[in-house]
Amino acid sequence: MKDIRNFCVIAHIDHGKSTLSDRLLEETKTISERDMKAQTLDDMDLERERGITIKSHAIQLYYDHSDGQRYTYNLIDTPGHVDFSYEVSRSIAACEGALLLVDASQGIQAQTISNLYLAMEHDLEIIPILNKVDMESAMIDEVSDQIIDLIGCDVEDIIHASGKTGVGVVDILEAIAHRIPAPSGDPEAPLQALIFDSMFNQFRGVIAYFRIMNGTIKKGDKVRFVNTGGEYVADEIGVLQLEQIPKPVLYAGNVGYIITGIKDSKEVKVGDTITLKDNPCSVGIQGFEDVKPMVFAGIYPIDNDDFEDLRDSLEKLQLNDASLVFEPETSVALGFGFRCGFLGMLHLEIIQERLSREFNQEVITTVPNVSYVAYTKREGSKIINTPTDLPDLSVLDRVEEPYIRAQIISKPEYIGQIMTLCMDKRGTLTNQTYLTTERVELTFEMPLAEIVFDFYDRLKSISRGYASFDYYPIKYQASDLVKLDIKLNGESVDALSSLVHRTKAESFGRQICKRLKQLLPRQQFMIAIQAAIGAKIIARETISALRKDVTAKCYGGDITRKRKLLEKQKKGKKKMRQIGSVQVPQKAFLEVLKLDGS
Amino acid sequence: MTGIYVHIPFCRKACHYCNFHFSTSLSRQDDMVQAICYEIAHRKLSRYDPLISSIYFGGGTPSLLGINSLKQILEALHRRFSYDKNIEITLEANPEDLHPGYLKNLKQIGINRLSIGIQSFLQDDLIFMNRVHNVQQSHSSIQNVIDVGFKSYTIDLMFGLINRSLDDWKKNIAIAMSYRPPHISCYNLTIEEQTAFGRWKKKGQLREEKDSHQLAQYEWTVAALTSHGYHHYEISNYALDGAKAIHNANYWQGVSYIGFGPGAHSYDGRIRSWNVAHNPHYIRDVKNETIYRQSEILTDADRYNECIMLGLRTSLGIAKTTINSFPKDIQQYWKKVSKPLLQQEILLESKCNYHLDPTWWYLSDDIATRLFY
């Protein structure tokens, strides 16, 4: 056990985590340069494109240290976005150390800090690394000061590195064995293994990744998952190199995978504890949570005939993304579809994009909302995941909405605008700390619903991209919410309904109407767009009728050209949905939320 | 029967709105005429009915050609094809070319219909469009055509120009009506990408007239010309009794046509082909059938789409017999997609056809896409 080191990398998006990880793999000969696609750890196309790691992975490398010893390093990758903070916390719990990777030209970002705090709470040994030191814009002294302020290290503890040139890679590998403690744990104790990630393989079923805290696991053991209570046989266990390497036995301190033939990813929950059926541990590992979706939206096929195909696709996506939940629902406007729950807005966008790319499913996503709790006067509480489920006002006692704690880090000059934005979003400032003279951290409590609506984009634009942001849910709180309906030519479009705070209903309604006016193409008749609360119309826009859609000349040579042009137009119209008499483009349902000149 | 189109790809200068194939380099006119005659004599045309119902000289500016050139082409045609007894032979002409002497010669070689590119009777409009002729020539050309004794002719006018009032357009129509031409085409200006107007629009230097203004001018035209006894038989075309353009109307009914000259299109009911739209290449390659022509085979769906697209712009509409000539799945598709339009009374059904009311012709592209297969 003393030659094992388990660690993760904490970094902000684009701070070079994947590139640096690749360098570690290269330097330890875990992977040859020739075999390597850039950024090996992110293997989904989408991740590669967006430069973010959506699902974490783990990899084992061997390092021949200058102290003469050969070490086993388990690098546990972590997802790098606010929507996945629970997964990050489980990865951190599986480690003894963390590489804190900071881009020397950009400095520390909010998300890095919240993950760093998480790592420090778990007593992880932090190795600070200043990355991209080769860049001209690197602010080595300034960013070093930020790091020192944050973790209280000495300036010489900070390793200077560049994933691009390879500078510092050996220093990092040396430091991992020196600074990060070996795992502790009792191989003789009852088995306790923390599941920190899982993936789905179409031939092998769900593969769970774990870290053994105590005990020993052998191939063929009967195991039990403490929180779900599921019992299985360890058909195969092993360690994770570039491929899975089966092993007969794994001991406390190590990181590995287990295959039990589970077909349903919902049975494997991140944070759960694996123990032995015959010799179980007395308690599961602390910190397990059943992750609940935070944001809900309807997903509908453009063509109603594709409903079953969409169900198939969602089921397949769920196999390797248990955090996606869905159930069938019907909408007056859109017909049959699914109400889906997501961890956050990014998660929603990722699912939508994967549906399009991997399954060729073009879908309509309705206005997203958070999960509310409605208390009725007689029948107690009810969870509201779609605005149309809101009970009638006559029986409604109150509605509670989820609140989050938001941490925003920015340059001091943007404090004023950020405060204005957050107050506008019904936030309350609870803390303000200067991390350095050039970086201030603001903490707000605010409704989650306000973040769903164009918060992040606005934050980025008012701070010119300098503000970074992280959040986690804290509580439910009563709110004065009303249901805002959108009508097209007098007909309510349920897919565009939303629950909004009463004080904001009017301006929100006005903005939505305005936005729809930009998004709907002109049609053969006038379109009235209205926003209403109950019977009361609070905002209105009209789109004048299309007057002319024809070309004057159509003779011999024009015919083919014109036919092809119209065929192309028809394809564009196929991506629209008929609601009552009005054609609504697929994109309108989501784009309508991008208010305020974005 | 078959229609023949002959493309004469030369102009004195480029009009700002025109995206047809032409060149302002006039030096190789004779070579071009020889090449066209060669194509007429040698092209394989076994799939076409050799009985010809119409010949149409379009351009470019066919009236740029001297009488002998036109005569040579007509003789080449006559050697190859037999003519229907009521054959319509049209020449597109610019006003500046229509002198009495030239007109008499045209008549003599067999041209029996003229299409005069008047465009406007207002000098400002002509300058705006970059036309060669002036208002006096707009007038004199028509007078000369009448005086020389052409019974059949048509004039082209253009509306929907930028910053022109409805009153300006009314003036134009009033002047046109004073000649009472047998046929008149009123085209709404369409700004095409590959034109001067198109480039200015892209740069933001020119803004298309509001569509409500364009529609008002169109609606006024329809009302005025029908009250003068004209039949509005296609979105841009109006004719007195018996004066409908045979050649153009055939395009809209799927009749086959053969196009000679650079850029000209042909259609035999199944295959559409087109000659290279490049004067020197055409002249060089015309002797080699495979090089100067490209073609595509139309599927049933393509033909159905064309029949919808064209039928919706005309008073003849879409014949039920045409719909019924398509395979069953297309017929069923038509039934499904036409139903809502019939219910909304946008599409009208009569005994033999389906058609749009002329007020809807202005949205016929949009409607067509809803019926497309």
HSE-CB at A60 with a 13 A cutoff on CA atoms is: 21
Please check whether residues A431 and A555 belong to one and the same domain: no
The pLDDT of residue A158 is 95
Task: Note whether B5 contacts A547, CB cutoff 8 Å.
Answer: no
Residues of A in contact with B215 (CB under 8 A): 547-548
Q: Is A123 on the interface with B (CB under 8 A)?
A: no
Identify whether A156 is part of a domain: yes
- The per-residue DSSP string of B275-293 comes to E-S-HHHHHHHTTSHHHHE
Closest-CA distance of chain A to residue B369, Å: 5
Identify whether A286 is part of a domain: no
Cα–Cα distance list, B255 to A321, B251, B252, B258 (Å): 59, 6, 8, 10
> Tokens representing A100?
């804190």
The pLDDT of residue A55 is 45
The pLDDT of residue B300 is 95
Q: What is the mean pLDDT of chain A?
A: 86
Closest-CA distance of chain B to residue A544, Å: 10
Closest-CA distance of chain B to residue A415, Å: 40
Q: Which of A523, A526, A543, A547 to mutate to test the interface with B (most CBs of B within 10 A)?
A: A547
Q: Is B88 exposed, middle or buried (0-12, 13-18, 19+ CB in 10 A)?
A: buried
Residue environment code for A46-57, b if the CB has 16+ CB neighbours within 10 A, otherwise e: ebeebebbbbbb
Please check whether residues A46 and A167 belong to one and the same domain: yes
Last residue of a domain, one of A350, A368, A386: A368
Task: Note whether B187 contacts A555, CB cutoff 8 Å.
Answer: no
What CATH number is attached to the domain comprising A412?
3.30.70.240
> Tokens representing B104?
């008499």
| Residue ranges of chain B with per-residue pLDDT less than 70 | 289-290
Q: Which of B299, B356, B365, B370 to mutate to test the interface with A (most CBs of A within 10 A)?
A: B365
Closest-CA distance of chain A to residue B84, Å: 21
The pLDDT of residue A25 is 82
User: A219 falls in which pLDDT band (50, 70, 90)?
Assistant: very high
Q: Is A203 on the interface with B (CB under 8 A)?
A: no
The pLDDT of residue A102 is 92
Residues above pLDDT 70, as percent of chain A: 93
User: A37 falls in which pLDDT band (50, 70, 90)?
Assistant: low
In terms of Cα–Cα distance, which of A186, A239, A224, A201 is closest to A73?
Answer: A239
Task: Note whether A546 contacts B363, CB cutoff 8 Å.
Answer: yes
Q: Which of A305, A525, A555 to mutate to test the interface with B (most CBs of B within 10 A)?
A: A555
What CATH number is attached to the domain comprising A233?
2.40.30.10
Of A524, A552, A555, the CB nearest to B366: A524
Task: Note whether B187 contacts A566, CB cutoff 8 Å.
Answer: no
Of B187, B263, B370, the CB nearest to A553: B187
Please check whether residues A8 and A150 belong to one and the same domain: yes
Please check whether residues A125 and A30 belong to one and the same domain: yes
Closest-CA distance of chain B to residue A568, Å: 9
Please check whether residues A225 and A316 belong to one and the same domain: no
Identify whether A284 is part of a domain: no
Last residue of a domain, one of A215, A244, A276: A276
Nearest CA in chain A to B188: A552
Cα–Cα distance list, B67 to B4, B87, B104 (Å): 19, 20, 10
Nearest CA in chain A to B186: A552
The pLDDT of residue A436 is 78
**What's the pLDDT tens digit per position in A106-121?**
888 877 887 888 898 8
Closest-CA distance of chain B to residue A355, Å: 26
Identify whether A346 is part of a domain: yes
Please check whether residues A26 and A170 belong to one and the same domain: yes
Identify whether A379 is part of a domain: no
**Which pTM does this prediction carry?**
0.64
Please check whether residues A51 and A121 belong to one and the same domain: yes
Please check whether residues A200 and A137 belong to one and the same domain: no
Of A554, A557, A566, the CB nearest to B369: A566
> Tokens representing A505?
């209903």
* Structural domains in chain A (count): 5
Identify whether A39 is part of a domain: yes
Q: Strand B51-59 and strand B2-8: pairing?
A: parallel
What CATH number is attached to the domain comprising A113?
3.40.50.300
> Tokens representing A339?
């109400």
Q: How far apart are CA A259 and CA A236, in angstroms?
A: 5
Whether A31 and A68 have beta carbons less than 8 Å apart is answered as no
> Tokens representing A372?
């509310």
What CATH number is attached to the domain comprising A489?
3.30.70.2570
Q: How far apart are CA A546 and CA A552, in angstroms?
A: 16
Q: In DSSP terms, which residues pair with B89 in a beta bridge?
A: B55
Q: Is A178 on the interface with B (CB under 8 A)?
A: no
**What's the pLDDT tens digit per position in A395-434?**
889 999 999 999 898 889 999 999 999 998 999 999 999 8
A52 pLDDT exceeds 50?
A: no
Identify whether A380 is part of a domain: no
Please check whether residues A112 and A244 belong to one and the same domain: no
**What's the pLDDT tens digit per position in A525-581?**
889 999 999 889 999 999 988 888 888 888 888 898 899 999 988 887 777 788 877
Please check whether residues A239 and A342 belong to one and the same domain: no
Please check whether residues A531 and A460 belong to one and the same domain: no
Please check whether residues A401 and A525 belong to one and the same domain: no
Closest-CA distance of chain B to residue A486, Å: 25
Q: In DSSP terms, which residues pair with B347 in a beta bridge?
A: B356
**Phi and psi at residue A100, in whole multiples of 5°?**
-90, 110
Residues of B in contact with A576 (CB under 8 A): none
Closest-CA distance of chain A to residue B215, Å: 6
What CATH number is attached to the domain comprising A346?
3.30.70.870
What is the identity of the amino acid at A519? L
Last residue of a domain, one of A479, A495, A517: A479
Rounded to a whole number, what is the distance in angstroms from the first to the last CA of chain B? 28
Residues of B in contact with A305 (CB under 8 A): none
Q: Which of B250, B363, B367 to mutate to test the interface with A (most CBs of A within 10 A)?
A: B363
Task: Note whether B309 contacts A566, CB cutoff 8 Å.
Answer: yes
A51 pLDDT exceeds 50?
A: no
Q: Is A566 on the interface with B (CB under 8 A)?
A: yes
The pLDDT of residue A82 is 63
Domain extent, residue A87, equals: 4-179
Q: Is A478 on the interface with B (CB under 8 A)?
A: no
Of chain A residues 515-534, which have a CB less than 8 A from chain B?
524
Q: Is B363 on the interface with A (CB under 8 A)?
A: yes
What would the mean pLDDT of A30-36 be, rounded to a whole number?
60
Nearest CA in chain A to B361: A550
The pLDDT of residue A316 is 85
What is the identity of the amino acid at B87? I
Q: How far apart are CA B126 and CA A555, in angstroms?
A: 24
User: A77 falls in which pLDDT band (50, 70, 90)?
Assistant: confident
Identify whether A67 is part of a domain: yes
